[in-house]
Structure 1
Amino acid sequence: MPDNKGVAYVKPGQVEVHDIEYPTFEVKDGPGVNPANVGRKTPHGAILKCVATNICGSDQHMVRGRTTAPTGLILGHEITGEVVETGPDVEFIKEGDLCSVPFNIACGRCRNCKEGKTGLCLNVNPDRPGSAYGYVDMGGWVGGQAEYVLVPYADWNLLKFPDKDQAMEKILDLAMLADIFPTGYHGCVTAGVTPGSTVYIAGAGPVGLAAATSALLLGAAVVIVGDLNEERLAQARSFGCETVNVSQGDPKDQIEQILGTPEVDCGVDAVGFEARGHGADAQTEQPAAVLNSLMEIVRAGGALGVPGLYVTGDPGAHDDAARVGSLSIRLGLGWAKSHSFATGQCPVMRYHRHLMMAILHDRVSIAKNVNATVIPLSQAPEGYEEFDRGAARKYVLDPHGMLAKAG
């Protein structure tokens, strides 16, 4: 049995690469594992050799101490891997297949899965609908920032790339299918982006850049990205976006300078609950700032896509209400403008095959747009530190040196 290493959350601000157990077809006790899942058999699963596994902004929320993540939790929900073993109940996925792993774990059998709501599977997390690898309160499935990982319900969850050699040529782009590309795309779809739309995307981190890429792919006329970080805004401009630096004031004033009107057709929140204010308040945490700003910016009758993460518990919040996920949202404004809102985990399976085809047929260069940067698994702690300081990069871990060889 091979050795295995994984990136573990140690304490706020610190991750380490630890020796961990090689996966088996049974859920074992460990940090963050739901007791009701311990001993659960997974003959429907597959063990993957992780070819690419990314650091996500959602991981950073945990590493900053903004959740109840336990010490020792193995992180990582953005996984691309090669199948090395399948359980006895796996019929279609085979050893050697190179696959993308949706970050949502789904059974394919429950009501929600059958309705395409794979981010809300009823059978994988005993506490509530929805699950993910390596994430707090998501059932305790071991994360994939590791050398090897178990994927349950493999026939359902895995997206097999049709040609392995072709896939390795585009592996950095395909690595974005596990989460940020479908998540950004979902934000745009739910915000109503169509050909000719004007779009404002709050946040120029990897999800925001993926949303901007998605808006262009969907035919938007103008895509405007707002952020505080000038390096990240420059990355957005590198592939054709307009930008606003929200530290310079209310974004609607800068949007008016770009469009001639302070309103857009569609708004996407790619920031989430660690949002900051605008202008003079740009260094002050205001968790409802982005949502309230979008309701001002989006035209009456428009929509807001909210792929940014909001939580039910935030121990690092600045007030008691925000600690339980209660925010001062101007719902009256949204109601008066007949806005629609879409929130929650992106149902990755709804989009990932179409986006895979767009990548394979050179319709989009998502890795370039998010500045995908490969580092070895051993350098994960440095990657987390640089990302937390605002690096305009999407860090992709290379546990087996396969990305370096492909590049």
Structure 2
Amino acid sequence: MSSNRGVVFRGKGEVAVEAIDFPELALGRRSCQHGVILRVVTTNICGSDQHMVRGRTTAPTGMVLGHEITGEVIECGRDVEFIKVGDIVSVPFNVACGRCRNCKRGDTHICLHVNDDRPGGAYGYVDMGGWVGGQAEYVMVPYADFQLLVFPDKEQAMEKILDLTMLSDIFPTGFHGCVTAGVGPGSTVYIAGAGPVGLAAAASAQLLGAACVIVGDMIPERLKQAKSFGCETIDLRQDATMSELIESVLGVPEVDCAVDAVGFEANCHGHNHGQEAPATVLNAAMEIVQAGGRVGIPGLYVTEDPGATSEDAKQGNLSMKFGLGWAKAMSFHTGQTPAMRYHRQLMQAILYDKVAIGKAVNVQTISLDEAPDGYAAFDDGAAKKFVIDPHGQIA
């Protein structure tokens, strides 16, 4: 049997590259003839992975991490009709069957057949069905005909792989945040967070025609990265209200819409910056978004957070100014992103040079053995998106 290695969660603050099982076309003891085995071309480190590594979820030790996967098909199950060996494909981070009522209406992020505990599955993630992660040399992907996005030209795909690798998660996620927030031509939009998802959301807002994209963060290097592709920025360490900070850019204290790309590990802004307050981004959005406006929330919120600073937050209960949102007739859109809803269109935008998403999120390629260092640098706030190249194909 061929060998395989992957990035394994070893407890709070620790990941290791270890030998893992080579994937088989099987689901437990059942054959999985609708699946394929991929030789991983790229696999990315995500902020969602970082939540687990920080000990902020109930992820078990020994889990193989990674849900942002691009690969080359090396084996197809008997029932795969339209994918062939040699195809370069993007894998949506949502595991989805394509057959349940949710998948049939396009809600692949809440598939009913891939997780025994609740709707929705994902590779290498806590409480998402136990699917083996793709921060590895090889991985098995089920429901291949339904899920996989085949790149039309292999040579072109490899030339643009550092952009195309973002199609598995953060580009559709940032785009979904903007779409659900109502970003459109002429919009003014506030993006909370200049991590990779926030930067992807900012690039998406520009692609959707926003007039002004404002990105807020507390890390100067990340704000510099947002500014590098035309965003306005606000340093949230400043001791001012959110309305005042928005007014300093726009001349008025409100935006048309907002995107929360931070999630539950948010910190206070102003003189309390660095103090955790998991609902602070949601409360800020209610303050600065116009009456009748919308907030897209691709940032992760969890049902259990063992590392939270309060007992309520440990159970996912947040102290929100929901009355303000109700009084302003605002809409909030939550949940994971149905990546398949957007990935083909965003692929086309990349291939036709309408967006340089890899440049926007500041890609840095690393080897599989360098993954633990990548996790550590990301945890320290590096203004980079770490892309793992398991087989040394990119360099």
Q: Displacement of 1:26 after TM fit?
A: 1.4
Aligned to 2:18: 18
Structure 2 residue 273 is matched with structure 1 residue 282: yes
C-alpha distance in 1 between matches for 2:231 and 2:314 = 35
Q: Structure 1 vs Structure 2: percent identity of aligned residues?
A: 68
C-alpha distance in 2 between matches for 1:272 and 1:327 = 11
Aligned to 1:3: 3
Structure 2 residue 391 is matched with structure 1 residue 383: no
C-alpha distance in 2 between matches for 1:278 and 1:402 = 42
Question: Quick one: which amino acid aligns to residue 335 of structure 2?
Answer: G
Structure 1 runs (4+) greater than 6 angstroms displaced: none
Aligned to 1:199: 189
User: For 1:1-400, what aligned pairs fall within 5 Å after superposition?
Assistant: 1-27=1-27, 38-249=28-239, 250-400=241-391
C-alpha distance in 2 between matches for 1:277 and 1:295 = 15
C-alpha distance in 2 between matches for 1:151 and 1:298 = 40
Q: Displacement of 1:25 after TM fit?
A: 1.2
Q: Contact between 1:245 and 1:251, CA under 8 Å: does it hold in 2? A: no
C-alpha distance in 2 between matches for 1:328 and 1:51 = 42
Q: Contact between 1:119 and 1:346, CA under 8 Å: does it hold in 2? A: yes
Question: Quick one: which amino acid aligns to residue 268 of structure 2?
Answer: G
C-alpha distance in 2 between matches for 1:363 and 1:193 = 17
Question: Quick one: which amino acid aligns to residue 26 of structure 2?
Answer: E
Q: Secondary structure at the match of 1:248?
A: coil
Q: Secondary structure at the match of 1:67?
A: coil
C-alpha distance in 1 between matches for 2:269 and 2:243 = 11
C-alpha distance in 1 between matches for 2:40 and 2:281 = 35
Q: Secondary structure at the match of 2:31?
A: coil
- Equivalences, count: 394
Q: Give the TM-score taking structure 2 as reference length.
A: 0.99
Q: Give the TM-score taking structure 1 as reference length.
A: 0.96
List alignment gaps of at least 5 residues for structure 2.
none
Q: Displacement of 1:41 after TM fit?
A: 3.0
C-alpha distance in 2 between matches for 1:325 and 1:136 = 15
Q: Displacement of 1:281 after TM fit?
A: 1.3
List alignment gaps of at least 5 residues for structure 1.
28-37
Question: Quick one: which amino acid aligns to residue 79 of structure 2?
Answer: D
Q: Displacement of 1:251 after TM fit?
A: 2.8
Q: Displacement of 1:253 after TM fit?
A: 1.1
Q: Contact between 2:364 and 2:387, CA under 8 Å: does it hold in 1? A: yes
Q: Contact between 2:242 and 2:287, CA under 8 Å: does it hold in 1? A: no
CA deviation string 1:82-109 (max 9, x = no partner): 0000111111100000000000000000
C-alpha distance in 1 between matches for 2:89 and 2:181 = 29
Aligned CA distance change for structure 1 residues 41 and 324 (closer, same or farther; 3 Å)? farther
Q: Displacement of 1:322 after TM fit?
A: 0.5
Q: Secondary structure at the match of 1:254?
A: helix
Q: Secondary structure at the match of 1:403?
A: coil
C-alpha distance in 2 between matches for 1:275 and 1:90 = 43
Question: Quick one: which amino acid aligns to residue 305 of structure 1?
Answer: G
Question: Quick one: which amino acid aligns to residue 390 of structure 2?
Answer: P
CA deviation string 1:334-392 (max 9, x = no partner): 00011001000100011000000000000000000000100000000000000000000
